Amino acid sequence: MLTFFTNGFSPFARKVAMALEYKGLSHETVDGLTHANRERLIKVNPRAEVPVLIDGDVTVVNSSDIVDYLDRRYPDRPVYPVDLRARVEARALERLADVRVDAILLDCSIWTWADRKDQPPPGLKEAGQRDLDTIFARLEETLGRYPAPFPFGHLSIAEITYWPHLAALRPLGFTMDQTKFPRLSEWFAAMRREKVCQDDGKRTADFLRTIPTNTSFEREKIFWRGDRVEWLLARGFHDWFMGEIKAGRVLWPD
Ligand SMILES: N[C@@H](CCC(=O)N[C@@H](CS)C(=O)NCC(=O)O)C(=O)O
């Protein structure tokens, strides 16, 4: 039996949950980000991050390593493209989402889920939208070189990585201009028709409904990982971030 340390809010955990569903792999889930399960999570991942997958005596940490492991161990319905060139492109798309899209959306969304009385620093959201537009242009160009709607011919790592982020855009107040990015919009529309994405949407909506009254998670201190800090500093929000550190509102991995 597979054991999956996950969390309903984490795009990385949702990526793995969708891969498990796509491959039809049954598993038990542990919400790794509750206070109650924290020590259990640290035992399997000292960075205290989800997702983590336990398969017998094998422990796999990090979403792309987990999906890669699943493809090698359970090769039916591969999530990564088998063709080497397509695989390199798919990994590049995945990395862009994991290190940059996630950073922008997480950094700009703190005020929607954390226990905060203040407002975001001025200009944060505008910087986020600007950088998202640059990324959308890059995606539009890449997708344009591949068949529509799914570039790799089937639901793949590209869709399960981008789905949680693209689905969060509108609720977080960001836009994706259909006239500027028609191919990207078509891609997102095709994802919306997939059961794996719809099921993720339902699980996420159920989880989000609990947020206002949920006391089982850390909501005062924000967990900061490298890529998320990098984006803030690169866009000039260092004073705000130093204020967070000084106010004791920061948690670090490990
Ligand atoms: N590179 C990791 C990133 C995982 C990650 O950032 N996980 C976040 C949730 S999105 C986490 O567990 N944070 C700990 C916390 O919020 O307490 C992956 O791809 O799995």
Q: What is the pLDDT of residues 123-175, one digit of tens each?
A: 999 999 999 999 999 999 999 999 999 999 999 999 999 999 999 999 999 99
Q: Distance between CA atoms of 65 and 53, rounded to whole angstroms? A: 10
Cβ of 62 closer than 6 Å to ligand 1, yes or no, is: yes
Cβ of 63 closer than 6 Å to ligand 1, yes or no, is: yes
Distance between Cα 49 and ligand 1 center (Å):
4
- Whole-number pLDDT of residue 211: 83
Q: Give the H/E segment covering residue 250.
A: strand 250-251
- Whole-number pLDDT of residue 164: 98
- Whole-number pLDDT of residue 186: 98
- pLDDT one-digit tens code per residue, 192-243: 999 999 999 999 999 999 888 888 999 999 999 999 999 999 999 999 999 9
Q: Distance between CA atoms of 122 and 237, rounded to whole angstroms? A: 9
Cβ of 12 closer than 6 Å to ligand 1, yes or no, is: yes
Q: Whose CA is nearest to atom 13 of ligand 1?
A: 49
Strands 58-61 and 27-31: unpaired
Instruction: Choose which residue among 6, 10, 14, 218 to substitute to test ligand 1 binding: the one with the highest number of ligand atoms within 8 A of its C-beta.
Output: 10
Distance between Cα 203 and ligand 1 center (Å):
18
- pLDDT one-digit tens code per residue, 16-75: 999 999 999 999 999 999 999 999 999 999 999 999 999 999 999 999 999 999 999 999
Distance between Cα 145 and ligand 1 center (Å):
31
Cβ of 4 closer than 6 Å to ligand 1, yes or no, is: no
Nearest to 66 by CA among 101, 106, 25, 126: 25
Name all domains of the chain by residue range, CATH numbers in brackets: 2-73 (3.40.30.10), 84-213 (1.20.1050.10)
Nearest to 253 by CA among 231, 232, 228, 236: 228
Distance between Cα 79 and ligand 1 center (Å):
21
| pTM for this prediction | 0.98
Cβ of 33 closer than 6 Å to ligand 1, yes or no, is: yes
Cβ of 10 closer than 6 Å to ligand 1, yes or no, is: yes
- pLDDT one-digit tens code per residue, 107-120: 999 999 999 999 99
Specify the DSSP class assigned to residue 120: P
- pLDDT one-digit tens code per residue, 65-92: 999 999 999 999 999 999 999 999 999 9
Taking 90 as the threshold, does the pLDDT of residue 254 lie above it? no
**Cβ atoms of residues 79 and 69 within 8 Å:** no
Ligand 1 atom at minimum distance from 9 CA: 10
